[in-house]
Amino acid sequence: MKELKTFFDECCKSVDETLDRLVPSSETEPQRLHEAIRWSLFAGGKRFRPALVLAVGQVFEVGEEKLLKTAAAIEMIHTYSLIHDDLPAMDNDDLRRGRATCHKQFDDATAILAGDVLQALAFQAIAEDENLSAETRVKLVSELARAAGTPTGMAAGQQFDLVAEKKVVSIAELERIHHSKTGAMIKISAVAATIIGGASAKEIEAITDYAAKLGLLFQITDDLLDVTQTTEVLGKTAGKDSAAEKATYPALYGLRQAQNLAEKIRAEANESLSGIDRDTRILRELSDFILNRKM
């Protein structure tokens, strides 16, 4: 078993190469659009979702060539959502991954279009992936569209989040926000690899359960980092959740309780894997990594 760090490094490299092939070059017209897409896509993102695709794929012994375009497509959807979420009309953020957000570096109109195009490119990448059967591609497009869209997907979650700002939110509402806003795309990252790998119904259920817990863990630690880390470390504006009076786990539970919750969820994520009769160590390491992440 490779070290997780090595796994992440290799994953970033393969995914970046795939993204580079799937997105028109900066010299291709309209140049400003492709520059803007590449500005955000190659801004040093952690590639957490693609890594999850590859990690689950490894558990089901799927060759990387069958996973990379789907992994890249998921990262494109994720990046489009960051570009749109950062817009002045949404979260109005100037800083992302340590540098200017897309609309600050270019302009609002270009940023809107860059996000729109990334979404189209994502579905195109899967539809044109000749390493997969047509049936598998159709299933992936359907599941990814549901994860990105509505009523339980990422964009719906962003709308829940907007509506929740500056009002008192219950823990149940907070969980619904994150279940859709971050959870859905993390879940599809894991589930996509089970679809490609032809996993059994029981295995898909276990992985879905694991991924739901992992998504929750990711969100709790994201909220914690917003409170405990500096802007410099995060590469995005720290403390902005409380400034915007956003519903977060530390705000609702208190810092210490939120940290305890994160540990409990990590344990539950790993427990979900117990029914799978395969080597799932990499997925346990991944949940440990998320629990302890510093950015």
**CB of residue 109 vs its own copies: minimum separation in angstroms?**
5
Say how far apart CA 153 and CA 147 lie, in whole Å.
Answer: 4
Please report how close the Cβ of residue 94 comes to its own copies at its closest, in angstroms: 16
Nearer to its own copies, 191 or 206 (CB): 191
If the CB atoms of residues 50 and 153 are measured against its own copies, the closer one turns out to be 153
Provide the minimum distance between the beta carbon of 49 and its own copies in the complex, in angstroms, as a whole number. Answer: 16
Measured from the CB atom, the residue of 219 and 280 that comes closer to its own copies is 219
The backbone torsions φ and ψ at residue 99, rounded to the nearest 5 degrees and listed phi first, read -145, 175
Nearer to its own copies, 12 or 100 (CB): 100
Q: Residue 177: CB partners within 8 Å, gap ≥ 6?
A: 157, 160, 161, 164, 169, 247
- Taking the complex as a whole, how short is the minimal distance between the CB of residue 257 and its own copies, in angstroms? 28
Give the whole-angstrom CA distance, residue 245 versus residue 189.
Answer: 30
d(CA 105, CA 93): 12
Cβ at position 104, least distance to its own copies in Å: 13
Q: Which residues bind its own copies (CB under 8 A)?
A: 24, 28-30, 32-34, 80-81, 84, 87, 89-90, 107-110, 112-113, 115-117, 119-121, 123-124, 126-128, 133-135, 137-139, 141-142, 145-146, 148-151, 153, 155-156, 158-160, 162-163
Is the CB of 24 or the CB of 239 nearer to its own copies?
24
CB of 20 to its own copies, least distance (A): 15
DSSP reduced 3-state for 17: helix
Q: Are 276 and 56 in contact (CB under 8 A)?
A: no
Q: How far is CA 11 from CA 8, 55, 225, in A?
A: 5, 9, 24
DSSP string, 210-257: HHHHHHHHHHHHHHHHHHHS-HHHHSS-TTHHHHTT---HHHHH-HHH
| CB nearer its own copies, residue 35 or residue 203 | 35
